[in-house]
Amino acid sequence: MTVSNVINDHPNVRETTREKVLKAMARLDYRVNVAARNLAKGRTGTIGLAVPELNSPYYSLLAAAIIGATERRGLRVSIEQAASRENELDALSLSRNRLYDGLILCAAGLGQADTERLRVDHPVVILGDRIFGGPVDHVAMPNLEASRAATRHLIERGCRRIAFLCGPVEEVDTSGLRLTGYRQALAEAGLPSDPALIQQVDRLGMRDGACRAREMADSGLDFDGVFCITDSLAMGVLRGLADTGIQAPDQVKVIGFDNVSESEFFIPSLSTVDPDHQGMAERAVDLLTRRIEQKKPAPDYEEFVGDFSLVIRESTGG
């Protein structure tokens, strides 16, 4: 017991005793067994972070932000790639199995229909836009406002035929919410909303962005601006436009969403929505920590929407 007290820096250990213990520990090359400690304490000091994919500028930025936020709180993060709805449920159960003290889940597979599966007796925070009003704390992007602002920016720069590039649109999700913001901005400016300009791709990466941009150009679609719901998509679009000889921003202006590190250096550099990643990460970790600390689960679920600003770069005229 005294050894335990020394290890955990408890007071009430005589200095000479402490030294004796430390000396013995050094001599024996003693290491605490974290598994045993976790069992005895009922805590692991680790939270789980489940993201759909790691090799993505956005999710790696997000992971870095979360890690930054946890470091300041003396927590460890274990990152899991949960690439499917199935994987996400796995992550949930691992957390329930006391491997983690709590879980930050970036849902991509789970949807509004799975809301009830989140009703678990251990701390979970949802980060993202697929589940609203669930029985968990929730940190979301400022989808609507930011999309309006991005679209408005294109309009202000003179675009009249603005394409909207997104992923599969579901009832409630990033694509759907940002589409609403886009439509609102058009409506506010008195511009018609042409369904042909609404383009959906399967995956929100550069490849799909590039392919679709080429298809749009080749099909003769008339457009002078593109609002892409992720920067990856937007950089892909810039690439696709370049392939077809279309000049950005002169002929077509492009704006993205996320402000990933690469956007600043792309050629042309990418105008984009800059969400307050840091703030959202801090808040997610705060909410989770609060849940972990409180003994009794309380159904006062919080919904936090992050801040954003617009970053104007070359792709919309600088």
- 60 scored as a contact of its own copies (CB under 8 A): yes
Is 99 a binding residue for its own copies by CB under 8 A? The answer is yes
To the nearest 10 degrees (0 to 180), the angle between helices 57-71 and 231-243 is 150
The residue from 186, 210, 216, 246 that contacts its own copies (CB under 8 A) is 210
Mark the segment that binds its own copies (CB under 8 A) among 31-39, 180-188, 216-224, 298-306: 31-39
One residue of 2, 78, 112, 180 binding DNA per CB under 7 A: 2
Report residue 26 as tokens. 């050094």
3-class secondary-structure state, position 233 = helix
Choosing from 35, 74, 293, 298, the residue that interacts with its own copies (CB under 8 A) is 35
CB of 190 to its own copies, least distance (A): 35
DSSP bridge pairs for 49: 79, 104
Q: Is residue 238 within the footprint of its own copies (CB under 8 A)?
A: yes
CB-based contacts of 232, cutoff 8 Å, min separation 6 = 56, 57, 58, 204, 205, 206, 209, 256, 258, 260
* Distances in whole angstroms, Cα of residue 316 to Cα of each of 35, 38, 146, 238: 54, 53, 16, 11
Report if residue 278 touches DNA, rule: CB under 7 A: no
Task: Give the whole-angstrom CA distance, residue 50 versus residue 106.
Answer: 6
Strand stretches in the chain, DSSP E = 46-51, 76-81, 102-105, 124-127, 137-140, 162-166, 198-200, 225-228, 253-257, 271-275, 303-305, 308-311
Determine which residue in the list 26, 27, 29, 31 makes contact with DNA, applying CB under 7 A.
Answer: 31
93 interacts with DNA by CB under 7 A: no
Tokens linked to 318? 């600088």
**Per CB under 7 A, does 39 bind DNA?**
yes
Strand 271-275, strand 308-311: pairing = antiparallel
Q: How far is the CB of 227 from its own copies (least distance, A)?
A: 19
Binding residues among 242-261 for its own copies as defined by CB under 8 A: 242, 261
Residue 47: which region, alpha, beta or left (left: phi > 0; alpha: psi -120 to 50)?
beta
CB of 96 to DNA, least distance (A): 11
Is residue 306 at the binding interface for its own copies, with CB under 8 A as the rule? no
For position 196 contacting DNA by CB under 7 A, the verdict is: no
Q: Which stretches of the chain bind its own copies, using CB under 8 A?
A: 31-36, 38-39, 44, 46, 53-57, 59-61, 63-64, 67, 76-81, 93-94, 96-99, 205-207, 210, 235-236, 238-239, 242, 261-262, 264-267, 269
